[in-house]
Amino acid sequence: MNLPDEPTGWSRLQAMAQQAPDADTLARIIDEMNRLLDKHEQMAEEPDIYFNRNIELQVQEDCILE
């Protein structure tokens, strides 16, 4: 499957993963990355939804940094 671009917030999550202070934080970041990719793939499979730019994928940073 070809996705037109990376999900909003993806680069930020990558940077956070590289700086994760411990394994638990890294695991939460990876969970968030997987959630973001799942939503991005769903949007790519449903072009009518994907091209409606009123929909944005949001990084739930508060869940990661708890």
Q: At what angle do helices 23-45 and 10-18 cross, to 10 degrees?
A: 160
Task: Evaluate if pTM is beyond 0.85.
Answer: no
Q: Is position 5 within any domain? A: no
pLDDT of residue 49: 53
Number of domains in the chain: 1
- Residue 38 within any structural domain of the chain: yes
Contact 9, 57 (CB under 8 A): yes
Asked, for residue 43, whether it belongs to a domain, the answer is yes
Q: What is the pLDDT of residues 9-33, one digit of tens each?
A: 888 999 999 999 999 999 999 999 9
What's the pLDDT score for residue 40?
83
Closest CA to 43 of 7, 12, 13: 7
d(CA 64, CA 66): 6
| Among 22-26, 28-32, 34-38, 50-54, the least confident range | 50-54
CA atoms within 13 A on the CB side of 28: 15
On whether residue 20 sits in a domain, the answer given is yes
Domain span holding position 38: 10-64
Length of the chain in terms of residues written: 66
In a domain, 52, yes or no: yes
